[in-house]
Structure formats: C-alpha cells, structure tokens
Amino acid sequence: MKEREITALEEGLGYHFRRRAMIEQAVTHSSQAREIEAQHAGESKYKVSDNEQLEFLGDAVLALVTSEELFQRFPHFREGELSKLRAHLVSERHLIQVAQQLELGHYLRLGRGEEKSGGRGKTALLVDALEAILAAIYLDGGLEVAREFVLRNVIAPELERMERGGGSLPITDFKSALQEAVQSLGLPQPAYVLVEEAGPEHSKTFTVEARLNSRDRSPEFVGRAQGSTKKTAEQDAARQLLTYLASRPKDTDGKTARSPLEVDK
C-alpha cells in the first residue's frame, strides 16, 4: 500500500498503527498473497501474509467486546435477550454496513481474479477485512484501543439507531408481541405506568408496571421491571406479561396466548 493510502485508512479508522505491516496484512486477501508468492516460485521460503488468521482473531475480539458491553449496558436482560442482541451486532448483515461506511473496499489488496470479479464489493471479503483490522488494532495497540474501535464503529451507532426506532430489535420487541397476544385473546391492551423514578439526573433508574386486565376490565396480572430508560423497563415488564399469558390456562373458547419466547428458545 502507498503511504497516502495507509494514512487515509488510519484516519478513517481513527487509529494510527505503530507497526504498518499489521494494517497492510489486515487488508491483504489470500488471492493477492498467493499471486505474489507465485511470482517468486523459485524462492521456496518466500511467504506473503494474508488476513485469514487475523480475521479469526478479530472475530473472537469482537465477540468478547460486544458481550462485555451488552452485559454492562443491559443488566436486566436475560441470557437469551443478550445472545440475540449480540448475534445481531456481530452478524454479517450489520458488519457489512460498518465496513462500507469505513470504505474498506477501497483499500483491499486483491489478486487479479478477485479484482475482476468485483471483490471490492463482496460482503464476505469486506467483513473479513473488518474483523482482520480489528485484530490488527488489538495486536498493535491492545484491548482497550480495540474496545474503543468496536464501541465507536460497531456497537454505539447501532444501539442508538435501535433506540430511535423504538428501543429494541424486532426479535426482542416484547411490547409489540404482547399487543398481538392480547388482541388474539380478545383482552384489553395493557397499560404501562411509571411508578418510580430514582437516582441522579445522569443515572436514573425507572420502575414501570405493565398492567393487564381481563375481558371484564378487572385487574388480572402486573409485570414490574426496572431499567436505565423507560423503554427498557417497559420491554421487560411486557416480557413478564407474555410469560404469564403463555402459562395461563386456556379460556373456555380454547384460546391461549402463543408466546414468542417459545419460538425464540
């Protein structure tokens, strides 16, 4: 890579490498490495490093940082909820968006065959390069620097987008699932009530109740949950109501709620 390309890539990543060879390896696809080795076929020990091993390590670093961050951010989430959210954040579908925003395709070192077949735009190559770059940052600067990169580029923007869109992923949108469940049972929609707000302004804890009434409008069940935001608390309270409905005896007409928790296990 030319010096100006490395500098431009580092600016986009927000990290300056002490060992330039690390970033060059991270963007070198195996097709380029094998092509260069073939040009030096007479030199038996000639070896060009590609990004495959770095991609393996980067995948592990990404999983660790993401797991730790979600564990700390969402202390009231259960294992299944945390696993689903992590699966989304480390998915190819999400990571390709990050790789495209960082314009990694421009910096890939590809063999002629991959170049001609549109390798710079291939999802697998871009995601592998992103994970390899993460590993390179980890090896060059340490875990804290790698964590900052993941939070800044992979986790924080997506969680903010999700919060703007309603506070949860569709697969963990318990409020919507509860709305559908009570409709199918002919029950009134639940009421969400903020019953307590505690803590300093910058670190509040909200306690919310999700109140379910029977068909005659009499109280039937209350889910109560705490969260760092009202939306988080409402989602957890809604999850409790769904769990209750799933275990509720069938009505005389044979109806019972079909809980999405059963599907998601």
Which residue did the predictor score with more confidence, 223 or 251?
Answer: 223
Q: What is the pLDDT of residue 257?
A: 46
| Long-range interactions of 175-179: CB distance < 8 A, separation 24+ | 175/234, 175/235, 175/238, 177/238, 177/242, 177/259, 177/260, 178/210, 178/238, 178/241, 178/242, 178/245
CATH 3.30.160.20 fits 173-264, yes or no: yes
Query: Across residues 127-154, what is the average pLDDT?
Result: 96
Query: Across residues 9-19, what is the average pLDDT?
Result: 95
Boundaries of every domain in the chain: 3-164, 173-264
Closest CA to 205 of 232, 185, 181: 232
Q: What is the pLDDT of residue 157?
A: 92
Q: Does residue 68 carry a pLDDT above 90?
A: yes
Q: Per-residue confidence at 33, pLDDT binned at 50, 70, 90?
A: confident
Catalytic residue, chosen from 50, 114, 128, 131, is 131
Cβ atoms of 241 and 209 within 8 Å: the answer is no
pTM above 0.85, yes or no: no
The structure tokens 């506070």 sit at 167
CA-CA distance, 17 to 169, in Å (whole number)? 35
Query: Across residues 130-146, what is the average pLDDT?
Result: 97
SS3 225: strand
CA-CA distance, 48 to 33, in Å (whole number)? 5
Tokens describing residue 131: 């994970």
Query: Across residues 92-116, what is the average pLDDT?
Result: 91
Please indicate whether residue 131 is annotated as part of the active site: yes
Q: Does residue 55 carry a pLDDT above 70?
A: yes
pLDDT in tens, 152-205: 999 999 988 887 765 555 445 688 888 888 988 899 999 999 999 998 887 788
SS3 257: coil
Which residue did the predictor score with more confidence, 169 or 144?
Answer: 144
Question: Class assignment of domain 3-164?
Answer: mainly alpha
CA-CA distance, 47 to 70, in Å (whole number)? 40
Question: Measuring CA to CA, how many Å separate 121 from each of 58, 68, 127, 174, 220?
Answer: 20, 31, 10, 36, 55
Q: Does residue 41 carry a pLDDT above 80?
A: no
Catalytic residue, chosen from 5, 37, 59, 173, is 59
**Domains 3-164 and 173-264 equal at CATH topology level:** no
Cβ atoms of 245 and 185 within 8 Å: the answer is yes
The most confident of 4-8, 140-144, 164-168, 230-234, by mean pLDDT: 140-144
Please indicate whether residue 148 is annotated as part of the active site: no
Q: Per-residue confidence at 250, pLDDT binned at 50, 70, 90?
A: low
Closest CA to 138 of 24, 3, 22, 9: 22
Q: What is the pLDDT of residue 263?
A: 33
Tokens describing residue 224: 């109560």
Burial 26-53 (b: 16+ CB within 10 A, else e): bbbbbbbbebbeeeeeeeeeeebebbee
Q: Does residue 214 carry a pLDDT above 80?
A: yes
